[in-house]
Structure 1
Amino acid sequence: MAPAKTAEGGPKISRGGRIFSYSFLTITAVIWLVPLVWAIYTSLRPEKDTQKYGYLSTGGSFNFQNYADAWNQGGFSKYFANSAIITVPAVILTLVMASMVAFAVSRFKWKFNVTLLILFTAGNLLPQQILAAPLFQLYKHFELPYSVSDSGSLLNTYYGVIAANIAFQVGFCTFVLSNYMKALPGELTEAAMVDGAGVWTQYWKIILPLCRPALAALGTLEVIWIYNDFFWALLFIQTGDRLPITTGINNLFGQYAQNDNLIAAGAIMTAIPVLAIYVALQRQFVAGLTLGGSKG
């Protein structure tokens, strides 16, 4: 006997299954939100009140002074600008390059399309730390004119950090986009070819617009990953005023003591940009993650 189905065609979930799912999701959400809520709560309390009443207390006053102090003491305006200089071009170039490769390996049959996809994907299997030393030497001996780099090489430049992030992210994006493009009807490009559309027209005007949900989902993930990256910037950038926001919180640590309330405020401010991007692209992000699973 066939199992019961919902109105959408999916299998009907039993009452016990729904209770288990809701309970699991609720517990997971609470566990996930407690540290965030606690960080916000701590950031709004003056340090003297925390020292007086304790971290688990509710006494004292609440204000935004920690945010102002963290912004000024940590030099966040400069670090936010540095993160934007690194993140924006890295995400755009990653998605553009990955979409081109994905289009080639998914919409055309040629001898090395699977091999090329495997090569792009295999790059994600290598831990970044393994390539740190050879990449540093490569950057050190990669000469650039002093009009482009004051170090005469890729070291201590935004270009080096952007290139490293692109190299390690384009493989994952290519894999996701190629699978997404394979799910699109082949008749779309066949009809375009009959109408005389070239390869570029097929890619730019037909396939790419249909990949907006996937691009939005990947764009959100890439912004989060590249924006939060600490390793490559710390490895390649040697000038403090060029470091991204992930290093700005280090300025809030004292030499002999630390203000946890100030650090909490700095951490919250650091998370605001990626949170805003996720909220703005939330609908496209969810659609990009779930649309592929609804095709049958």
Structure 2
Amino acid sequence: MTKLRPTTAETTTPAVASALPAVPTAPGGARPAGRRPLRPGRLGVHAFLTTVSLAFLAPLALAVYASLRPYDETSEHGYFSLPRTLSLDYYRQAFTDSGMTKYFVNTLIIAVPGVLVTLFLASFVAFAVARLKLRGSILLLMLFTAGNLLPQQVIVTPLYVLFNRIPLPYRMSESMTMYDSHWAVVVVQVGFQIGFCVFVLANFMRTLPQEILEAAVVDGAGVWTRYWRITLPLCRPALAALGTLQFTWMYNDFLWALVFISDGDKLPVTSALNNLRGQFFTDYNLLAAGSVIVALPTILVFLLLQRHFIAGLTLGSSKG
């Protein structure tokens, strides 16, 4: 006959059994669940966050709902009534009547170079402040950070006069000056956004292991190699988070383009919404459809960079 092999519980001696950690059991002998119990405090936090999220999403949801309904229906029954007709006609009309294709191109001409130049210059300054032993680096960081405290509207008039006096060749500006060109808007965007990016990147670079750069110095790496091939790849999450924010801010800007560009064909997409407003009558459902179309690129950018954006925001939140 075949002998049955004893189980582990049978072969365990009393001394070994006493040394093994006890497995916690719930009342009734069942194993405890992995979830933490829902306490009143956690329920209150979740209720608060849900309420705030719905409050932020409510205007967007109302705009989408209104853009799908005819204006006559909403004017008769109200915007919060049940729909009788839903269609995408307003989106087609908003895209064709406002000429958004041209304005989208103008916005990309401003936003894409603005974001790239801002991140490049800010990362270079942040590397010098955080990773190189320079005299007055803290003072330089404070200077860049203090630039964010300056109200932008205060220097509108000085910049307007200055840009009218800065000459540019005709191939760069039809006005032969920086005024009435995309260059003026890009320069202003970079100037006002670089301080915030330097502050964020400098603090992030200080958290990088110093041993990595010390090993690169031993291997003969120069300053440019340490910056471009070692530090920047490690800053990818922070750069993605800043790039998402900067693109959103530059894309949604309306003030600087309105002040420094007089030619309507050069205005960004935010100004295209003005073309949907009539002189004596404004179809707010059509305007809502145009607003949704204008908001789509920023939503798409956030969805594409969502993983890097969240990683950049949560860096440094925990140790180890």
Q: Do both proteins adopt the same fold according to a TM-score greater than 0.5, normalized to the shorter chain?
A: yes
In structure 2, the partner of 1:49 is 73
In structure 2, the partner of 1:5 is none
Q: Equivalents in 1 of 2:56, 2:104: separation in Å?
A: 26
Q: Equivalents in 2 of 1:220, 1:147: separation in Å?
A: 31
In structure 2, which of residues 168, 191, 202 is the aligned counterpart of residue 167 of structure 1? 191
Question: Equivalent residue of 2:316, what SS?
Answer: helix
Show CA shifts across 1:22-77 (max 9, x none): 11111101111111111100001122222333222113210100001111111111
In structure 2, the partner of 1:34 is 58
Q: CA deviation at 1:13?
A: 9.9
Q: CA deviation at 1:148?
A: 2.0
Matched, 1:16 2:20: no
For 1:28, the aligned partner's letter is: V
Extract structure 1 runs of 4+ deviating beyond 3 A. none
In structure 2, the partner of 1:196 is 220
- Counterpart contact for 1:53–1:59, Cα < 8 Å: no
Question: Equivalent residue of 1:148, what SS?
Answer: coil
Q: CA deviation at 1:137?
A: 0.7
Unaligned residue ranges in structure 1 (runs of 5+): 1-11
Q: Equivalents in 2 of 1:105, 1:180: separation in Å?
A: 11
For 2:122, the aligned partner's letter is: A
Give runs of aligned pairs for residues 134-213 of structure 1, distance below 5 A: 134-213=158-237
Give aligned-pair identity as a percent: 51
Question: Equivalent residue of 2:51, what SS?
Answer: helix
Q: Equivalents in 1 of 2:129, 2:188: separation in Å?
A: 23
Alignment RMSD = 1.4
In structure 2, the partner of 1:249 is 273
Q: Paired residues, what number?
A: 285
Q: CA deviation at 1:215?
A: 0.4
TM value normalised by structure 2: 0.87
Larger radius of gyration: 2
Q: Equivalents in 2 of 1:14, 1:265: separation in Å?
A: 42
In structure 1, the partner of 2:293 is 269
Q: CA deviation at 1:294?
A: 1.8
Q: CA deviation at 1:14?
A: 7.9
CA gap 1:97/1:295 in 2 versus in 1, 3 angstroms:
farther
Q: CA deviation at 1:88?
A: 0.3
TM value normalised by structure 1: 0.93
Q: Equivalents in 1 of 2:319, 2:234: separation in Å?
A: 14
For 2:139, the aligned partner's letter is: T
Show CA shifts across 1:229-262 (max 9, x none): 0111001000000000111101111111110100
- Counterpart contact for 2:69–2:83, Cα < 8 Å: no
In structure 2, the partner of 1:82 is 106
In structure 1, the partner of 2:256 is 232
Unaligned residue ranges in structure 2 (runs of 5+): 1-35
Q: Equivalents in 2 of 1:132, 1:104: separation in Å?
A: 31
Q: Equivalents in 1 of 2:40, 2:221: separation in Å?
A: 54
In structure 2, which of residues 223, 232, 244 is the aligned counterpart of residue 220 of structure 1? 244
For 1:191, the aligned partner's letter is: A
Show CA shifts across 1:205-233 (max 9, x none): 11100111100100000010000001110
CA gap 1:37/1:27 in 2 versus in 1, 3 angstroms:
same
Q: CA deviation at 1:295?
A: 3.6
Give runs of aligned pairs for residues 64-79 of structure 1, distance below 5 A: 64-79=88-103
Show CA shifts across 1:94-138 (max 9, x none): 000000000000001211211211111111110110010111111
